[in-house]
Amino acid sequence: MSDYQKSLFAYSVVKSVQLVLRLRKKSIKNSCVAIYDAAEEINGRILYELSKECKYVVLLSRDILKTRCIADYVTANYGVAPVVTNDIGYVLKSADFIIASNSLGNEINKPLWCIDNMYIPNSTNSVIINDVSYAVPWDIGNLNMSIELLGSILGIMEEKDIEKSLKYNGIILDKIMFNSILSC
Q: Clarify whether residues 38 and 122 are in a common domain.
A: yes
Q: Clarify whether residues 60 and 79 are in a common domain.
A: yes
Q: Clarify whether residues 119 and 147 are in a common domain.
A: no
Least confident segment among 11-15, 47-51, 121-125, 141-145? 121-125
Q: Read off the pLDDT of residues 39-83 as tens digits, 9 standing for 90 and up.
A: 998 899 999 999 999 999 999 999 999 999 999 999 999 999 999
Task: Report residue 106's pLDDT band, with 50, 70 and 90 as the boundaries.
Answer: low
CATH code of residue 95: 3.40.50.720
Tell me the mean pLDDT in the region 128-140: 87
Q: Clarify whether residues 91 and 167 are in a common domain.
A: no
Q: Clarify whether residues 145 and 75 are in a common domain.
A: no
Residue where a domain stops, chosen among 106, 130, 154: 130
pTM: 0.91
* Cis bond before residue 37 (omega within 30° of 0): yes
Q: Clarify whether residues 121 and 139 are in a common domain.
A: no
Q: Read off the pLDDT of residues 157-184 as tens digits, 9 standing for 90 and up.
A: 878 899 999 999 999 999 898 776 766 6
Number of domains in the chain: 2
Q: Clarify whether residues 116 and 162 are in a common domain.
A: no
Q: Clarify whether residues 34 and 123 are in a common domain.
A: yes
- Whether residue 113 contacts residue 102, with contact meaning beta carbons closer than 8 Å, is answered with no
In 3-state terms, what secondary structure has residue 99? strand
CA angle 40, 46, 50 (to 5 degrees): 135
Residue where a domain stops, chosen among 88, 107, 130: 130
Please report, for residues 50, 71, 79, 89, 149, the alpha-carbon distance to residue 66 in angstroms, rounded to integers and kept in the order given. Answer: 19, 9, 19, 21, 32
Residue span of the structural domain in which 44 resides = 3-130
**Sequence-ordered list of residues with C-beta below 8 angstroms from that of 47, at least 6 positions apart, any chain:** 35, 38, 57, 59, 70, 74, 82
- Whether residue 175 contacts residue 182, with contact meaning beta carbons closer than 8 Å, is answered with yes
pLDDT of 140 above 80: no
Q: What values do phi and psi take at 16, rounded to 5?
A: -70, -35
